[in-house]
Amino acid sequence: MSDLQQKIDNAIGEPKNLGEMENADAVGTAGSADCGDMLRMWIKFRDEGGKKVIDKATFQTFGCETAIAVASLATQLIQGKTPEEAMAMDGEALSAPLGPLPPMRIHCAQLVEGALRQALSGAPAPKAAAPAPVNAPTLMDSFAPTQNTAPKPVRVILKPKAE
């Protein structure tokens, strides 16, 4: 087992700060229900010496074990930081305790970063995730006529069987 996998297993074995937070001061959501990876983060602030700092952060995710591990670690890393300090952290910083992530897992850290940034930016959390835009028609779409065009006639020519 790789060192990264061992760290992920340790982090998801007992995830920290998992679950919704009642009376959160900020909520951020990132991801898409269409691809399956979604993460929501709740943040509660406190006043410390006249400045606003993050008192607690929690999360929920529909994502892989790497997303769970990064979110669990990130909620611990941002505690005690000002919103500006937390906003300065990118996905790489939020996942640093795990070590370098392989290219196919970098999106997990970006998912956590996105939810954190939305929560701290003051943007309202979406009531429901908007579907991801469709980039290309499906095979079935290519057979269906569109509203603006009539079906084009198809001419089939059968050649006689060669004997």
CA dist., res. 131 & res. 98, Å (int): 31
pLDDT of 127 strictly over 50? no
Higher-pLDDT residue of 135 and 108 is: 108
**DSSP 8-state secondary structure symbol assigned to residue 137:** -
| Confidence bin at 129 (pLDDT 50/70/90) | very low
Sheet (strand 26-31) strand order: 26-31, 38-48, 51-62
Q: How do residues 54-83 score in pLDDT, each as one tens digit?
A: 999 999 988 889 999 999 999 999 999 999
Query: 142 in a domain, yes or no?
Result: no
Q: How do residues 5-56 score in pLDDT, each as one tens digit?
A: 888 888 888 889 999 999 999 999 998 766 678 999 999 999 999 999 999 9
**Average pLDDT of every residue of the chain:** 82
Q: Please name the residue that has the structure tokens 């001061």.
A: 25
Query: 135 in a domain, yes or no?
Result: no
Higher-pLDDT residue of 87 and 125 is: 87
Which percentage of the chain shows pLDDT scores above 90?
A: 55
Whether the CB-CB separation of 66 and 101 falls below 8 Å is answered with yes
The DSSP element (H or E) to which 142 belongs, if any, is: helix 139-143
Structural domain tally of the chain? 1
In the prediction, which pLDDT does 71 show? 95
Q: HEC profile for 44-87? A: EEEEECCEEEEEEEEEEEECCHHHHHHHHHHHHHCCCCCHHHHH
- Residue 87: count of CB within 10 angstroms of its CB: 16
Whether the CB-CB separation of 59 and 111 falls below 8 Å is answered with no
In the prediction, which pLDDT does 34 show? 67
Query: 85 in a domain, yes or no?
Result: yes
Whether the CB-CB separation of 43 and 19 falls below 8 Å is answered with no
Query: 116 in a domain, yes or no?
Result: yes
Query: 80 in a domain, yes or no?
Result: yes
Whether the CB-CB separation of 27 and 125 falls below 8 Å is answered with yes
The residues assigned a catalytic role are 35, 108
- Read off the tokens for 17: 């700060």
Query: 156 in a domain, yes or no?
Result: no
Query: 16 in a domain, yes or no?
Result: yes
Q: List C-alpha distances in Å: 146 to 16, 81, 106, 137, 142.
A: 50, 53, 38, 11, 9
pTM over 0.75: no
Q: At 46, which CATH number?
A: 3.90.1010.10
Whether the CB-CB separation of 60 and 37 falls below 8 Å is answered with no
Domain with 110, as residue range(s), is 3-126
Query: 19 in a domain, yes or no?
Result: yes
